Amino acid sequence: MQEDFLHHIWKFQKFSKVALKTEEEEAIEIVHQGSHNLHSGPDFFSAQIRIGDQLWVGNVEIHLKSSDWYAHHHEIDKAYDNVILHVVWEHDVEVFRKDNTVIPTLVLKHRVDNFALAKYNTLFSNKRQWIACEEDFPEVDDFLLENWMERLYFERLENKSNVILELLKTSKNDWEAVFFQMLAKNVGLKNNGEAFFSMAQSFDFSVLRKIQKNQIQVESLFFGQAGLLETAIEDPYVNQLKKEYGFLKNKFKLQNNQVAPVQFFRLRPVNFPTIRLAQLASVYSANEQLFSKIISVKTKEEIYALFDVSASNFWDTHFHFSSVSAPRKKRLTKAFIDLMIINTIVPLLFCYGKHTGKENPETLITLMTSIKKEENTIVSRYNTLNPVAENALHSQALIELKTNYCDKKKCLQCAVGSHLIRK
Confirm if 337 and 344 have CB atoms less than 8 A apart: no
Give Cα separations from 344 to 163, 229, 287 (angstroms). Answer: 12, 28, 16
Which pLDDT belongs to residue 423? Answer: 66
324's enclosing H/E stretch is strand 323-324
Q: How many angstroms separate the CA atoms of 306 and 291, rounded?
A: 11
Cα of 308 vs its chain's centroid, Å: 28
The full length of the chain comes to 423
> In this model, does residue 387 exceed pLDDT 90?
yes
Angle at 266 between CA 256 and CA 317, to 5 degrees: 75
Which pLDDT belongs to residue 420? Answer: 87
What's the whole-model pTM score?
0.81
209's enclosing H/E stretch is helix 205-211
Burial class (CB in 10 A: 0-12, 13-18, 19+), 220: buried
Give the single-character DSSP code of 295: T
Query: What's the pLDDT tens digit per position in 59-74?
Result: 999 999 999 999 999 9
Q: What is the mean pLDDT of residues 25-45?
A: 94
Q: How many angstroms separate the CA atoms of 109 and 123, rounded?
A: 19
Average pLDDT over all residues of the chain: 94
> In this model, does residue 313 exceed pLDDT 80?
yes
Q: Tell me the Ramachandran region of residue 280: left when phi exceeds 0, alpha when psi lies from -120 to 50, beta otherwise.
A: alpha
Q: How many angstroms separate the CA atoms of 15 and 11, rounded?
A: 10
Q: How many angstroms separate the CA atoms of 157 and 393, rounded?
A: 11
**At 236, phi and psi to the nearest 5?**
-55, -40
Confirm if 171 and 205 have CB atoms less than 8 A apart: yes
Q: What is the mean pLDDT of residues 364-383?
A: 96
> In this model, does residue 122 exceed pLDDT 80?
no
> In this model, does residue 128 exceed pLDDT 80?
no
160's enclosing H/E stretch is helix 142-170
Which pLDDT belongs to residue 45? Answer: 96
3-class secondary-structure state, position 211? helix
DSSP state string for 17-78 = -TT-B-TT--BEEEEE--EEP-SSS-SEEEEEEEETTEEEEEEEEEEEETTHHHHTTGGG-G
Cα of 404 vs its chain's centroid, Å: 9
Beta bridge partners of 83: 59
Confirm if 344 and 179 have CB atoms less than 8 A apart: yes
Q: How many angstroms separate the CA atoms of 108 and 218, rounded?
A: 67
- Residues 6 or more apart whose CB falls under 8 angstroms from that of 19 comprise none
Which pLDDT belongs to residue 421? Answer: 82
3-class secondary-structure state, position 119? helix
- More confidently predicted of 262 and 122: 262
Angle at 234 between CA 228 and CA 240, to 5 degrees: 65
**How far from each other are the two terminal CA atoms of the chain, in whole angstroms?**
20
Which pLDDT belongs to residue 98? Answer: 80
> In this model, does residue 3 exceed pLDDT 90?
no
CA atoms within 13 A on the CB side of 392: 19
Closest of 391, 413, 419, 390 to residue 401, by C-alpha: 413
Burial class (CB in 10 A: 0-12, 13-18, 19+), 32: exposed
Angle at 305 between CA 191 and CA 337, to 5 degrees: 20
Give Cα separations from 282 to 10, 169, 270, 275, 380 (angstroms). Answer: 58, 28, 15, 11, 35
Give Cα separations from 299 to 155, 233, 265, 387 (angstroms). Answer: 22, 43, 36, 26
> In this model, does residue 224 exceed pLDDT 90?
yes
Query: What's the pLDDT tens digit per position in 347-371?
Result: 999 999 999 999 999 999 999 999 9
Which pLDDT belongs to residue 32? Answer: 97
> In this model, does residue 24 exceed pLDDT 80?
yes
**At 323, phi and psi to the nearest 5?**
-140, 145
